[in-house]
Each structure stands twice: as C-alpha cells, then as structure tokens.
C-alpha cells in the first residue's frame, strides 16, 4: 500500500520509522533485531536509507594515486525485500541523486517495481567526505526535483528508451524531504520553500521533515507550507537524543537548533544514561503534543536505537 493511502485511511496518528542499513559484514538479523521491538506499534511503513559509496586514494608504485571505492553498508533494495518478506509491511526505500546516473536510477526503480514496492523517498543526498560540495554523476541528477521528474515520467510510462514496446508504467508514491529550519544550503527560508513547492508540483505526494526538537518549528513550517498552497501531508520526523555529545553533534551534522531548555537539561546530566532519560522524556512530550495536533504520522529516526523508540512509543500509542 502507498504511504498516501495509509495516511488517507488512518483514523488517528500513524507510527513509522526509518532505519539504517547495517555496516558491511553484519547480517540481516541486525536489521530484524532493530525492528522486532517496534512491531507491537504496528508501523505503517519502514523507511530504509541509502548510503552511497565513498572513495579512498591509495598511493601506488611510481607515485600514482588509485581511486578505490569503499562501500560501508549494503544496498537498500535487498533490505526492503527482506523486510517485506519477514514482516509483510510496506517499505520506503530512499532514492538519491548522488552516485547514480539516470540509467542506474531507472534500473533501481525497475527492480523496486518488480518487488512490488510502490513507495520511494526522493532525495538529493549528501556530498561525500572528499568533496566540498555535492557533485552529481555524469548524466546524473543534481537536484531532488530532477529525480522526482524522472520517477513521475516512469509513472506515466515514459522510460529513457522511448521506443520500447509495451512498457508498463510504474506506480510509485513519491515522498520528499522538508526542512522546518531550512536546508543548510538554501540562502533563506523563502527560497527553500519555493524549491519544496516545485517538488510537490512535479509529483511528490507527501513530505517528511528533517528532525527537530522544537514543535513550534514544525507548526510554523506547516503554516508556511499552507500559505504557499503546499497542501500535501507533512510528516514530522523525530529523533530521540541518547547522549550528552548529541546535543552538539546533531546540531552540527543536521544544521538544526537545540532548544535552550533541552540543552540546559542535558548539560546538567553527569552521564550519558541520564542524558538519554532526558531525551526520552523530551520526545514523549513532543510526541504527545504532535498527536494532540492531529499530525498524520510520527516518523521516528531510530538510528539503531529501537529500545528508546519503543519506550517513547509505549507512552504515546
């Protein structure tokens, strides 16, 4: 079932989660171990992130540098198939611009269609560590809207080779990312919102937000969207703070603000265990307020912390 169908049929706020592919060398059981504790909350769908390959330059004889591909996590398509097979729930694979040509993107989407997966989250993706800014692949997409356009064209039966006979159109429900505190590369919020509106006009059917710790940021973002006639469902993305260090690392990595009251509570903690308890309670209160506001779904960025997500969910669902 499509994400938008889950939302439209729901009589109350849904529960969903996002998981990371395991590190290379770990088995699929590590994924199942992270999902099992959360199945009691009947997740409507599970997002699976995609981590592109990175590169190292190794010095060879004669002083030459060889570019070596390093892949730290297995692919998203196979993980989605394994989750569907075991749990019979819908998955949302992340499709990114970085590291893919248009042909490779089309092939990945064809594989997903064969598996019966009808949801995708279209993202530009981050630059790799060796690049100061995002660099698309030759004949790849530079922006998420380009990716949305390609998926929508395939939904309309238009593939890259237009002379193919009896081509079956795909049927993907397309989600995109939204940033309550604006994307860090956007010059201002208005510019960021215009790009978001363009992605919706291109065919995206729902928005999942970047994590936030201040619900007012989310409510303000939703209001801005509605004022700009962006009327698709907007799913709040939630992350539970689990250590003292995350008060600074999350802000640095994801370019988000940590509310002063939360920061003060975390700073008073002497141990990470105490900080985790603060983070759990903060997220419980966030979740309760969001449910009271009748948000369509609480989308948890679990990041391998299914137990703390379970503790939050048990208090609000």
Q: What is the CATH number of the domain that holds 311?
A: 3.20.20.220
| Res. 10 pLDDT band, cuts 50 70 90 | very high
32-86 confidence digits (pLDDT tens): 999 999 999 999 999 999 866 555 456 666 666 555 555 554 578 889 999 999 9
3-state DSSP assignment of residue 55: strand
Res 307 pLDDT > 70: yes
CB 222 within 8 A of CB 191: no
Pairing type for strands 65-70 and 54-59 reads: antiparallel
Residue of 174, 153, 172, 160 whose CA lies nearest to 102:
160
Q: Which of left, alpha, beta for 85 (phi over 0: left; psi -120 to 50: alpha)?
A: alpha
148-175 confidence digits (pLDDT tens): 999 999 999 989 876 666 778 999 999 9
According to the model, what pLDDT value does residue 153 have? 94
Domain membership of residue 73 as a residue range? 3-316
Is 18 annotated in the active site?
yes
Phi and psi (nearest 5°) for 298?
Answer: -100, 120
First to last CA, the chain: 22
Q: What is the number of domains present in the chain? A: 1
Q: Give, for 309, the enclosing helix (H) or strand (E).
A: helix 306-316
Q: How far apart are CA 205 and CA 202, in angstroms?
A: 9
Res 210 pLDDT > 70: yes
94-141 confidence digits (pLDDT tens): 999 988 899 999 999 999 999 999 999 999 987 666 677 787 788 989
Q: How far apart are CA 199 and CA 210, in angstroms?
A: 16
* pTM, 2 dp: 0.91
Residue in 5, 18, 53, 185 annotated catalytic: 18
Mean pLDDT computed over 180-184:
95
């Amino acid at each position: 079932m499509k994400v938008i169908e889950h939302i439209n049929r729901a009589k109350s706020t849904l529960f969903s989660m996002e998981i990371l592919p395991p590190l290379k060398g770990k088995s699929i059981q590590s994924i199942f171990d992270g999902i099992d504790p959360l199945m009691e909350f009947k997740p409507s769908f599970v997002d699976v992130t995609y981590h592109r390959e990175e590169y190292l330059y190794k010095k060879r004889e004669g002083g030459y540098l060889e570019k070596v591909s390093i892949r730290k996590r297995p692919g998203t398509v196979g993980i989605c198939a394994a989750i569907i097979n075991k749990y019979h729930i819908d998955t949302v694979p992340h499709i990114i611009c970085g590291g893919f040509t248009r042909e490779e993107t089309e092939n990945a989407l064809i594989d997903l269609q064969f598996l019966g997966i009808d949801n995708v989250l279209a993202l530009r993706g981050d630059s790799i560590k060796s690049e100061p800014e995002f660099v698309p692949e030759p004949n790849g997409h530079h922006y998420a809207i380009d990716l949305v356009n390609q998926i929508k064209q395939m939904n309309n039966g238009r593939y890259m080779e237009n002379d193919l006979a009896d081509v079956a159109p795909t049927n993907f429900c397309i989600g995109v990312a939204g940033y309550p505190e604006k994307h860090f590369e956007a010059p201002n919020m208005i510019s960021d919102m215009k790009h978001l509106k363009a992605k919706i006009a291109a065919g995206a059917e729902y928005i999942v937000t970047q994590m936030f710790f201040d619900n007012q940021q989310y409510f303000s973002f939703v209001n801005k969207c509605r004022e700009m006639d962006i009327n698709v469902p907007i799913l709040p993305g939630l992350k539970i703070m689990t250590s003292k260090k995350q008060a600074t690392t999350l802000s640095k990595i994801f370019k988000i603000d940590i509310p002063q009251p939360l920061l003060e509570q975390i700073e008073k903690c002497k141990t990470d265990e105490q900080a985790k308890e603060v983070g759990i309670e903060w997220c419980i209160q966030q979740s309760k307020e969001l449910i009271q506001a009748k948000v369509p779904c609480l989308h948890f960025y679990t990041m391998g912390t299914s137990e703390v997500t379970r503790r939050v969910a048990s208090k609000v669902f």
